[in-house]
């Protein structure tokens, strides 16, 4: 699922590892989500959205509409 | 690259899992060959208890993995494990013959894996099913 996670993360000055620690996931998971290689679970998507203070659909682009 | 707290916890849990598997393997191996005075049923029950303990020691590691890490392991085990298990069965048949102990052992392991898969699937449905609305 395409997203703007990388832009949001770098705007906060966070590395993938730092964001991963805060989300309690692996750095590889953050990398895969950013690169659109893996769709995050719904809880992780909402957790990321809450962390950046944006709605989930702002962070992840709906591929169906 | 520095290792985060989460990664440290996973590595510790992995080491505990590996250690538990090794200890269980050694204990069951000793039980099966070195204790002639204990009834076979008792040996089997003790071995099952040890195996259960080893599995319980692996639970913390599994719970510390995130969704993607669990998904990668489940898919790898399903596809890689199923194919390699089937391949092992075919190779045992070719090189050992249908009536060989090698093929019997391979078939038993494969059948038990299938049975375990079925039981696990049933449990998954039991846990996740909801009443139709």
Task: Express each pLDDT in B41-83 by its tens digit.
Answer: 888 899 999 999 999 999 999 999 999 999 999 999 999 999 9
How crowded is residue B128: how many other Cβ atoms within 10 Å of its Cβ?
7
DSSP characters over B73-120: HHHIIIIIIHHHHHHHHHHHHHHH-TTSHHHHHHHHHHHHHHHHHHHH
Q: What is the pLDDT of residue B1?
A: 60
Place of tokens 């992995």: B14
- The vertex-B9 CA angle with B7 and B13, nearest 5°, equals 115
> Does the beta carbon of A39 lie under 8 angstroms from any beta carbon of chain B?
no
pTM: 0.86
Distance separating alpha carbons of residues A2 and A59, to the nearest angstrom:
9
Mean pLDDT of all residues in A24-50: 97
> Does the beta carbon of A55 lie under 8 angstroms from any beta carbon of chain B?
no
Mean pLDDT of all residues in A6-22: 96
Tell me the per-residue pLDDT of A44-63, one tens digit each, with 9 for 90 and over.
999 999 999 999 999 999 98
Distance separating alpha carbons of residues A26 and A39, to the nearest angstrom:
14
B44: helix, coil or strand?
A: helix
DSSP characters over A5-61: HHHHHHHTT--HHHHHHHHTS-HHHHHHHHTTSSPPPHHHHHHHHHHHTS-HHHHB-
Q: What is the pLDDT of residue B34?
A: 67
Distance separating alpha carbons of residues B18 and B31, to the nearest angstrom:
20
CB nearest A21 (choices: B5, B67, B69): B5
CB nearest A26 (choices: B1, B2, B69): B69
User: Taking an 8 Å Cβ-Cβ cutoff, which residues of chain B contact chain A?
Assistant: 1-2, 4-7, 66-69
CB nearest A26 (choices: B1, B2, B66): B66
- Is a pLDDT exceeding 80 seen at residue B37? no
**Which residues in chain B have their CB less than 8 angstroms from residue A17's CB?**
1-2, 4
Cβ atoms of B6 and A16 within 8 Å: the answer is no
């Amino acid at each position: 699922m395409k997203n703007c996670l990388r832009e949001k993360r770098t705007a906060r000055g966070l590395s993938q590892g730092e964001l991963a620690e805060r989300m309690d996931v692996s750095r590889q998971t953050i990398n895969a989500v950013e690169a659109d290689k893996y769709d995050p679970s719904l809880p992780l998507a909402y957790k990321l959205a809450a962390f950046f203070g944006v709605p989930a659909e702002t962070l992840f682009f709906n591929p169906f509409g | 690259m520095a290792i985060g707290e989460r990664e440290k916890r996973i590595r510790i849990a992995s080491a505990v899992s590996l250690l538990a598997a090794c200890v269980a393997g050694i204990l069951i191996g000793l039980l099966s060959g070195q204790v002639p005075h204990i009834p076979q049923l008792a040996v089997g029950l003790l071995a099952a208890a040890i195996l259960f303990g080893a599995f319980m020691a692996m639970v913390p590691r599994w719970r510390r993995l995130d969704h993607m890490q669990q998904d990668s392991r489940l898919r790898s085990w399903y596809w890689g494990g199923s194919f390699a298990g089937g391949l092992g069965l075919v190779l045992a048949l070719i090189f050992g013959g249908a009536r060989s102990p090698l093929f019997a052992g391979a078939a038993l392991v494969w059948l038990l894996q299938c049975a375990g898969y079925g039981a696990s699937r049933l449990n998954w449905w039991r846990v996740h099913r909801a009443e139709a609305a």
